[in-house]
Chains A and B, each alone.
Chain A
Amino acid sequence: MTDATLSAAPAAAPKPRASLLIADERTRKRNAAESRFRAYGLSAIGIALIALVVLLSSVLTDGIGAFRQTYLTLPVALDSARLDKNGNRDPEDIKKATTLTYGKLLDQAVQNTVAQQGIAIAGLTEKDVSDLVSKEASAQLRNRVIANPELIGQTVDARVLVNGRVDGYYKGRVSMDSAARDSNTSPAQLQLADALKDKGLLATQWNWSFLTNPDASDQRPEAAGVGVAILGSLYMMLVVLVLAVPIGVAASIYLEEFAPKNRLTDIIEVNISNLAAVPSIVFGILGLAAFINFAGLPQSAPIVGGLVLTLMTLPTIIIATRAALKAVPPSIRDAALGVGASKMQSVFHHVLPLAMPGILTGTIIGLAQALGETAPLLLIGMVAFVKNFPAAPPEGLFDPASALPVQVYNWTQRADPAFFERASGAIIVLLVFLLCMNILAIFLRRKFERRW
C-alpha cells in the first residue's frame, strides 16, 4: 500500500536517506547471512506446506466421492410364490429363499421400471439393465423381508444402491469414453442411468452408510464402508488406554521419583529409549508368538491388536511422562516434604497433578501413533476381510475386527477402481480422527498448562 502511494507521488527527486547509518562490509555480510537463513527457513516451510497441500488435496479429491452414493428407488413386487412356497410365513421357510431369488426379483423390478417409464435407448441390453442395481441390494431386500415377513406378497418401494461404475459416472470417475472400453459397463447403461435421473428415480446423496457399513466383497465396492474398521480401531484404542496409561505412568513415576539412580536403572532407561525406536513389525512378531501361539488368544481379535499396540505405545508414554515429571520444579516436592508429607503424598498430591497436562499430551500422541499403525496387525490376522460387527465390549474384544489403516491397505489392493475412492475416503476418516486427537491434546495442554 505504502509503496503504491509513494510511487504515485509526483516527487521525481531522489528520496532523502532515512537513516544516517552506513553499514560497513562486515555488518552487511552478517545481515546478508541472516536474510539468507530466513529465506532457507521460509522455503523449507513452503516446501512442507506445498507437500501437505498436494497430499491433502489429492486425498480429498479422490476420497470425497466415498461420502456420496447413488441410489435408485424402484417398486419391487415381493412374489409370495417365490419367497414363501408353503405360504405359512414360517421364518425358517422364508430364510430358504437365497439372495439369488431376491436378485431375480430385483432384476424383474428394474426391467419393469424401465419399461413403465418408457425409456428406450439404442444398444441397451438386458444385462445392462439388470446390472444397474448393485449386488448388495438383494441382500438388503432379503434382510428386510426376514425382519418383516408381512411384506411378502406386497409391492414395496426399495431404495437400492446402483453399481459402482454408474455411481462413478456421477462422481466423474467414469466417462462415456471409458465406459465404451469397459467390460463392466456400457455407454447405454450410463444413458439409462441419466434417463432414470431425469425421471427423479435415481439420485446421488450423502452417504452415511460409508461410516456405518462393514466391508464388502470385490464385486460391490458401492456397499463397502468403514464401520467394522472404526469399531475395531476404537476397541484397540480402548485396550491401549486401559493398559498402557496405568502401566506407563506407574513405571515412569517409579523410575523418576522413587528408583535409586544406579547401573540397573540406567540400563532400563536406555532400553526404554531403544524400545521406542524398534520397528513396529517386531511387536507384531512378538504378539503372534506371545499372545496367539502361547497364550491362546484368538486371531484377528482387537484384544490382541490392542495388546500389541500397548507394547508399542508404552515407551512413548513412559518417555513423555518422565519428561513431564522432570519438568515439575523440585521446589514443589521440597515444599510438600517440608510440611510433613510422605514421599508418596508429595508425588500423588502435588507432582502428578502438575505433570498431568504433559502426561495427557504424551498419551494422546502415543494413541494417535498407535491408531495409524498397520504393520504389527498384519501378523496377528487383523489385515482381513471382516464383515460381521464385533459384539459390545468386553466380549467384542475377542471377536474378529478390522482397523482403519488396515482397511485403507486392503482397499488399495482391490482390482475395482471404485475401491481406490473408498480407500481415500477411509484415509479422510482416519485423518479426521487423528486431527481430533491432536486438537484434544493441544486443548488439554493449553487448559491445564502451568508455567513457573
Chain B
Amino acid sequence: MKCAKLAVSALAMLAASATVASARDQIQVAGSSTVLPYATIVAEAFGENTDFPTPVVESGGSSAGLKKFCEGVGENTIDIANASRPIKASEIEACQAAGVTDIMEVRIGYDGIVFASDIAGNDFQFTPADWFNALAAKVVKDGKVVDNTATKWNEIRADLPDQEILAFIPGTKHGTREVFEEKVIAEGCKESGAADVFKSELGEDAAGEACMALRTDGKSVDIDGDYTETLARIQSAKNGIGVFGLSFYENNTDKLKVATMAGVTPSTETIAKGEYPVSRPLFFYVKKAHIGEIQGLKEFVEFFVSDDLAGPEGPLAAYGLVADPELAATQEAVAGEAVLTN
C-alpha cells in the first residue's frame, strides 16, 4: 500500500513539474560529425566565457542534422544544424514546408581530406587518376572499356610501391564520400582520359555513372563508422590506405603516414592556399526565427565566427580547421542576419 502511495505521489510530482518546466535556455545543435569537434570546442569556450549555458551539440551526420533542423520552428526543435556540405534545394524545400523559412548559412572554414596509411608502410604520391584507376569498376585499357582487375598499386602506375590495393573509403551516408567521389574519383576519371572514352563508348549519361562506379571485389571497403574505425582497420590490415579528415590525421600523426595528392602534402597552409585539391567548406545553418527566442543564439553564432576562434590563430585552426580567408564577410553576414535566398 505504502509502495503504491509513494508511486502515485511521485507520478503527481512528475506531472506537476512538467507544467512548470521553463523555456529552454540552452542552444541545441545537431549534425555533421566532421563539424562536431569544432562545434564542441566553440560551445565549451562559449559556456566558459559567457553567462549563457554551454550549448548541447549532437552528432549524427549532415543529412540527419538538416532533417532534424527542418522539422519545424519551436522550442523542441534544434536551432543550428552543422553540415559538411551545402544545404540542398530539396532540403530547403522541406524546411519551408515545415515553416522554417529564414535560414542563415554560415561558412566556418575548410576541411581537408587526406589519404593516409600505416606509419611503418610505404610512401605514396598519388594523383586523382591513380585512385580512379585503382578503385573504379570499369577502366580504360588501350582505348577499350574493361573491368578493373588491378591488384597492386604498381600496376596502376610504375612508380607507386609494390603493395596490394586496399582502400578504406567513407560509406555513402557520410558527406565526406561525396567530396571523395567528386574531387578524387570524378577528377581522376577526367584526368586519365577515361571520361572521354566512356562518353564515346557508353553515351553521355552512362559515362557519368561509369566514372563514379567503384569496384565491389573487396579492394575498396566502405567504412560506415567514423575515422576511428578506419584507423582500426588500417592497424589490423597494414597495407590498407584510408581516407581521413585532416584534423583526425593531425591528432594521430604517430600512427599514420599521409600521402601527397598531385604532388602536394596536405596541411592547413596548402589547403588555405588552394594548392591541395581535396578540400571542402564546412557550414552551419541557423534558424533566424529562433534568434531572440532562444537566449544567446546570436551571441553564439557571432562567437563561433569571431577571429579569436575561427581565425587562423584560433583554437579551431589549431585543431585542424582551415581558416576561411573570407571570414570578415561571414562575420558581417552574421551580424546582419543575412538569410539564404533561393
- B76 and A297: CB pair below 8 A? yes
* Closest-CB distance, A292 to chain B (whole angstroms): 6
Contact of B21 among A184, A387, A395 (CB under 8 A): A395
CB of B24 closer than 8 Å to a CB of A: yes
- Bound Cα distance A196, B305 (Å): 38
B20: chain A residues within 8 A (beta carbon): 395
Chain-B contact segment, one of A148-156, A174-182, A198-206, A333-341? A174-182
Enumerate chain A residues within 8 angstroms of B252, measured Cβ to Cβ.
Answer: 415, 417
Determine whether B158 belongs to the interface, using a CB cutoff of 8 Å to chain A: no
B-contacting 9-mer, from A37-45, A76-84, A239-247: A239-247
Contact (A183, B253) CB under 8 Å given A400-B26, A400-B56: yes
Interface string of B6-41 (1 = CB under 8 A from A): 011011011011101110101010100100110111
CA distance A348 to B318 in the complex (A): 66
- Give the distance to chain B from A103, nearest Cβ to Cβ, in Å: 10
Q: Is the CB of A183 within 8 A of B44?
A: no
- Expressed in whole angstroms, the Cα–Cα distance for A395 and B84 within the complex equals 35
21 cross-chain CB contacts under 8 A: A98-B49, A181-B254, A183-B250, A184-B250, A217-B43, A218-B37, A218-B41, A242-B14, A246-B3, A246-B4, A381-B58, A383-B58, A383-B60, A387-B54, A388-B26, A394-B16, A398-B21, A410-B59, A412-B228, A413-B226, A415-B252
> CA separation between A253 and B24, bound complex, in Å?
40
Chain B residues 47 to 71 lying within 8 A of chain A, measured CB to CB, are 47-49, 51, 53-54, 56-60, 71
B269 contacts A by Cβ under 8 Å: no
B315 CB-CB contact with A under 8 Å: yes
* Complex alpha-carbon distance, A299 and B76, angstroms: 6
Q: How far is the CA of A348 from the CA of B2 in the complex (A)?
A: 11
A243 contacts across to B, CB distance below 8 A: 11
Q: Mark A370-389, 1 if CB is under 8 A from B, else 0.
A: 00000000100101111110
Least CB distance from B246 to A in Å reads 10
A388 to B21, CA, bound (A): 17
CB distance from A145 to the nearest CB of B (A): 13
On whether the beta carbons of A300 and B3 are closer than 8 Å, the reply is: no
Given contacts A98-B49, A218-B319, contact A415 B251 (CB under 8 A): yes
Cβ-based interface call for A422 (8 A): no
A378 nearest in chain B by CB position? B60
Closest residue to B28 on the A side, CB-wise? Answer: A299
B37–A394 CB distance below 8 A? no
Say if the beta carbon of B132 comes within 8 Å of chain A.
no
Chain A residues lying within 8 Å of B245, measured Cβ to Cβ, are 415
In contact, B253 and A182 (Cβ under 8 angstroms) = yes
Q: Which interface class (under 10, 10 to 19, 20 to 34, 35 or more) fits A?
A: 35 or more
**A285 on the B face (CB < 8 A):** no
B243 → A minimal CB distance (Å): 14
Q: Is B153 an interface residue (CB 8 A)?
A: no
Chain A 194-220, CB-CB to B under 8 Å as 1, else 0, gives 000000000000000000000011110
Q: How far is the CB of A59 from chain B (nearest CB, A)?
A: 16
- Interface residue A139 (Cβ < 8 Å from any Cβ of B): yes
Do residues B48 and A99 form an inter-chain contact, with CB atoms below 8 A?
yes
Q: Is the CB of B44 within 8 A of A292?
A: no
CB-CB < 8 A to A182: which residues of B? 253-254
**Using Cβ atoms and an 8 Å threshold, which residues of chain B touch A219?**
37, 41, 315, 318-319
Chain B residue contacts of A387, Cβ below 8 A: 43-44, 47, 54
Instruction: Tell me, yes or no, whether B308 is within 8 Å of chain A by CB.
Output: yes
**Is A296 among interface residues, defined by CB-CB distance under 8 A?**
yes
**Is A322 an interface residue when CB atoms closer than 8 A count as contact?**
no
B1 in contact (CB, < 8 A): yes
Q: Do residues B17 and A395 form an inter-chain contact, with CB atoms below 8 A?
A: yes
Say yes or no: A398-B43 contact (C-beta < 8 A), given A246-B4, A300-B58.
Answer: no
Which 10 residue pairs spanning A and B have beta carbons closest together?
A: A394-B17, A246-B7, A387-B54, A218-B37, A178-B254, A415-B251, A384-B58, A385-B57, A217-B40, A182-B254
Q: What residues of chain B lie closer than 8 Å to A183, measured between beta carbons?
A: 250, 253
- Are A384 and B57 within 8 A (Cβ)? yes
- Please report which residues of chain A, range 239-275, place their CB below 8 angstroms from some CB of chain B when the two chains form the complex: 239, 242-243, 245-246, 250
